[in-house]
Homo-oligomer: A and B are copies of this chain.
Amino acid sequence: MYRSHTCGELNASHINTEVTLAGWVQKTRDKGFMIWVDLRDRYGITQLIFDEQRTAIDVFEKAKTLGREFVIQVKGTIIERESKNKNIATGDIEILVSELHILNEAKLPPFTIEDETDGGEDIRMKYRYLDIRRNPVKNNLLFRHNVAMEVRKYLSNQGFCEVETPYLIKSTPEGARDFVVPSRMNEGQFYALPQSPQTFKQLLMVGGMDKYFQIVKCFRDEDLRADRQPEFTQIDCEMAFVEQEDILNMFEGLTRHLLKEVKGLEVAKFPRITYDYAMKTYGNDKPDIRFGMKFGELNEVAQHKDFGVFNSAELVVGISVPGCASYTRKQIDELIDWVKRPQVGASGMVYCKYETDGSLKSSVDKFYDQEDLKKWAEVTGAQPGDLILVLSGPANKTRTQLSALRMELGNRLGLRKPEEFAPLWVVDFPLLEWDEESERYHAMHHPFTSPKPEDIHLIDSNPGAIRANAYDMVLNGNEIGGGSIRIHDKGLQAKMFELLGFTKEEAENQFGFLMNAFQFGAPPHGGLAFGLDRLVAILGGQETIRDFIAFPKNNNGRDVMIDAPSTIDVKQLDELHIQLK
């Protein structure tokens, strides 16, 4: 062992002890007759001292050669510091060094290894191994480990068995694009990397393994939007002989356990709201409920006056922004410009200030009197001092626009506090969504999701109205997990594939093994999957998943550190029976 202690554990109680430490040179201060070195490892920083008086001359001279990030081993005695540093755990002591070994020299790193670094994203990714030396990144990785361990502990204690499902599976064109792997031994054939272990976990339920989980990498070859990764990690779970209520309780328990163990927070029972309610109240199926500004629908109170814009709109809907009646005309104009940006797309915005004196002042005063505006305040829940903002237009579009505005204001007003956690369930999702482009239904969740029994009668007459036994867990405006009760009946599953536009052959070819399995005694089952990357980021009080992944890829799907993907030998291609186009 190169060390007797780490750089994070020594304090005044160790004074006069002889110790050996090893680590990286964080920085040196050379006063000529005295040299201080901050020695860093994963656990902290300990100050070393070399002193013309007390240090052997060769050791002292060697200390003068030390540069940033040199790897060294020192032996020495712990002494009390003259000027203590109360900011670090080891701040009361320093090591008077008697032996110094340079284990490895270091070139000057391309950015500073400090909590606040001068390195930009690109350079930090290229030298990710240096970036990981920085506390924020290192702590994120340790935090992630901690979360994963707590997930495993909780689920194991609840009787779940972690089962590893295969990575080399079969390509299914439904859903996102697969990454594929040419088979050398099976000419002309390809494996696919799993987008999720969905069918395998369902087969495990058929196999009687009634509580399954797995923390597992999944893969999607999609054009990467900001903060998406081609490979990502799921906490994948499934249970048999359960109803939706059982699953909600179990995984609410898991999330509550995590909040308690990794954040020290006790959270009450999670609210449950329907998809319809979420859309109407927040314009969003993953609402951030840490703050209010719930939607108030104003059709009844704002239409049939002389304001044509509202009268012709499918939906007139507003929010009350707390304490913002004092906004200047300029501030309000800026907000109006904000909603009119193409990313949001509103054509305009009406406002109404609910002054602290109880009067109401709107941008459409010529159409609405105080009595009318009072009703707006009632519907949006505005109090004196609040600012009411109103959008109108086609219902879905307008809700989405108002939701964007609500989130933006939540951010601006500091209502989205990173260390506050407000989880909830959104339930009763639609089973299907209509795709204008392909002119057919797509599964909103996935093709294995069970319709609500009471809605099944709509399957031929009005499939779009069928609600699913599907649910999402939402935390602070992010979907962190989602799942459903599955279909366990071969007939209903076949019907579902038909509804989704699969021919019988396609269904058989792609999912025959699952439908086959259903013939041999499939139990009722359901489950969900959490996105671990995002869950960890949110629990860590951040929203960028990249900061919680050791070696992430960039938006082109490249690992810039190892420079992958890369070309391969023609010989390799030949063996795989493929060639470049």
- Check: A422 CB closer than 8 A to any chain B CB: no
Shortest CB-to-CB span from A220 to chain B, Å, is: 11
Q: Is there an interface contact between B129 and A190, defined as CB atoms closer than 8 Å? A: no
List residues of A (166-187) whose CB comes within 8 Å of B's CBs. 166-171, 173, 177-186
Q: Which residue of B lies closest to A550 (CB)?
A: B163
Q: Is there an interface contact between A104 and B551, defined as CB atoms closer than 8 Å? A: no
Q: Is there an interface contact between A580 and B578, defined as CB atoms closer than 8 Å? A: yes
Q: Is there an interface contact between A180 and B579, defined as CB atoms closer than 8 Å? A: no
Q: Is there an interface contact between B568 and A574, defined as CB atoms closer than 8 Å? A: no
Q: Is there an interface contact between B164 and A221, defined as CB atoms closer than 8 Å? A: no
Q: Which residue of B lies closest to A137 (CB)?
A: B207
Q: Is there an interface contact between B170 and A141, defined as CB atoms closer than 8 Å? A: no
| Given known A-B contacts A184-B177, A186-B556, A565 and B207 have beta carbons under 8 A apart | no
Which one of B166, B177, B223 contacts A559 once the chains associate, using CB atoms below 8 Å?
A: B166
- Chain B residue contacts of A186, Cβ below 8 A: 556-558, 565
- Check: A394 CB closer than 8 A to any chain B CB: no
Q: Is there an interface contact between A171 and B572, defined as CB atoms closer than 8 Å? A: yes
- Chain B residue contacts of A152, Cβ below 8 A: 149, 152
**CB-CB contacts of A534-559 with B at 8 A, as 1s and 0s?**
00000000000000011101001111
Which one of B2, B42, B231, B580 contacts A524 once the chains associate, using CB atoms below 8 Å?
A: B2
Shortest CB-to-CB span from A152 to chain B, Å, is: 7
- Check: A217 CB closer than 8 A to any chain B CB: yes
Shortest CB-to-CB span from A183 to chain B, Å, is: 4
**CB-CB contacts of A405-443 with B at 8 A, as 1s and 0s?**
000000000000000000000000000000000000000
Shortest CB-to-CB span from A94 to chain B, Å, is: 20
A242 to B230, CA, bound (A): 35
Q: Is there an interface contact between A173 and B572, defined as CB atoms closer than 8 Å? A: yes
Q: Which residue of B lies closest to A163 (CB)?
A: B550
Q: Which residue of B lies closest to A557 (CB)?
A: B185
| Given known A-B contacts A107-B520, A230-B168, A581-B574, A208 and B149 have beta carbons under 8 A apart | no
Q: Is there an interface contact between B566 and A189, defined as CB atoms closer than 8 Å? A: yes
- Check: A344 CB closer than 8 A to any chain B CB: no
A522 to B206, CA, bound (A): 50
Which one of B127, B191, B566 contacts A520 once the chains associate, using CB atoms below 8 Å?
A: B127
What's the number of copies of this chain in the assembled complex? 2
Q: How many residues of A contact B (CB 8 A)?
A: 121
- Chain B residue contacts of A178, Cβ below 8 A: 572
Q: Is there an interface contact between B565 and A170, defined as CB atoms closer than 8 Å? A: yes
- Chain B residue contacts of A170, Cβ below 8 A: 559, 562-566
Q: Is there an interface contact between A141 and B129, defined as CB atoms closer than 8 Å? A: no
- Check: A252 CB closer than 8 A to any chain B CB: no
Q: Which residue of B lies closest to A2 (CB)?
A: B241
- Check: A304 CB closer than 8 A to any chain B CB: no
| Given known A-B contacts A168-B565, A186-B556, A581 and B577 have beta carbons under 8 A apart | yes
Shortest CB-to-CB span from A517 to chain B, Å, is: 5
- Check: A266 CB closer than 8 A to any chain B CB: no
Which one of B70, B127, B180 contacts A182 once the chains associate, using CB atoms below 8 Å?
A: B180
- Chain B residue contacts of A144, Cβ below 8 A: 163-164
- Check: A193 CB closer than 8 A to any chain B CB: yes
A167 to B558, CA, bound (A): 12
**CB-CB contacts of A68-110 with B at 8 A, as 1s and 0s?**
0111010000000000000000000000000000011111010
**CB-CB contacts of A45-61 with B at 8 A, as 1s and 0s?**
00000000000000000
- Chain B residue contacts of A522, Cβ below 8 A: 71, 104
Shortest CB-to-CB span from A239 to chain B, Å, is: 10
A141 to B520, CA, bound (A): 21
- Check: A337 CB closer than 8 A to any chain B CB: no
Q: Which residue of B lies closest to A148 (CB)?
A: B162
- Check: A342 CB closer than 8 A to any chain B CB: no
Q: Which residue of B lies closest to A25 (CB)?
A: B521
Q: Is there an interface contact between A190 and B565, defined as CB atoms closer than 8 Å? A: yes
- Check: A502 CB closer than 8 A to any chain B CB: no
**CB-CB contacts of A235-251 with B at 8 A, as 1s and 0s?**
00000011101100000
Q: Is there an interface contact between A563 and B132, defined as CB atoms closer than 8 Å? A: no
**CB-CB contacts of A184-202 with B at 8 A, as 1s and 0s?**
1110111111000001100
- Check: A507 CB closer than 8 A to any chain B CB: no
- Chain B residue contacts of A272, Cβ below 8 A: none
Given contact pairs A104-B521, A179-B191, a sample of 11 additional A-B residue pairs in the complex whose CB atoms are under 8 Å apart: A107-B519, A107-B520, A133-B207, A142-B161, A144-B163, A145-B162, A149-B152, A180-B182, A192-B568, A203-B551, A204-B550
20 A–B pairs (Cβ distance < 8 Å), ordered by A: A1-B242, A1-B243, A2-B243, A70-B521, A103-B523, A107-B519, A129-B204, A132-B208, A133-B207, A141-B163, A164-B549, A171-B568, A173-B572, A180-B576, A183-B565, A186-B558, A192-B568, A204-B550, A578-B579, A578-B581
Query: Which A residues are within 8 Å of any B CB, using their own CB?
Result: 1-3, 22, 24, 40-42, 69-71, 73, 103-107, 109, 127-133, 138, 141-142, 144-145, 148-149, 152, 156, 161-171, 173, 177-186, 188-193, 199-200, 203-204, 206-210, 217, 219, 221, 223, 230-231, 233, 241-243, 245-246, 488-489, 513, 517-524, 549-551, 553, 556-559, 561-569, 572-581
